[in-house]
Amino acid sequence: MFTVPIGEWFKDVLSGFTKGLLHSDRFMQRGLFEPEVVSRMLEEHESGVVDHTRQIRLLLALEIWFRLFIDRNELEAHLPEEALIV
């Protein structure tokens, strides 16, 4: 069986994407997680000290979900109707 090396990708090719979402003002303002804990988890994962693949994947999925389904109402108010995906 082939498994996708997402944990390794979080360390290199997806590092910028991951940090961009999980260090964003929007993510922090939600107040769901302690910023210091999230930062430490990303640092530990990137340095190889601890494999936080599952936790990082969960945090990314949650933040993307928030942006698509919760923040969408905020975005829709500023977009023309034809730009929205129904």
Phi, psi of 33 (to 5 degrees): -135, 150
Predicted TM-score of the model (pTM): 0.82
Residue type, 34: E
Instruction: Report the alpha-carbon distance of residue 61 to residue 49 in Å, rounded.
Output: 23
Are 69 and 34 in contact by the 8 Å Cβ rule? The answer is no
Q: Give me the tens of pLDDT residue by residue for the chain, a chain 86 residues long.
A: 888 999 999 999 999 999 999 999 999 999 999 999 999 999 999 999 999 999 999 999 999 999 888 887 666 665 666 655 55
Task: Give the model confidence (pLDDT) of 58-80 as tens digits.
Answer: 999 999 999 888 887 666 665 66
- The full set of domain ranges for the chain reads 6-83
Structure tokens at 29: 């303002």
CA-based nearest residue to 22, from 46, 7, 41, 50: 41
C-alpha dist (Å) from residue 7 to 25, 52, 62: 24, 8, 17
Structure letter (DSSP) for residue 2: -
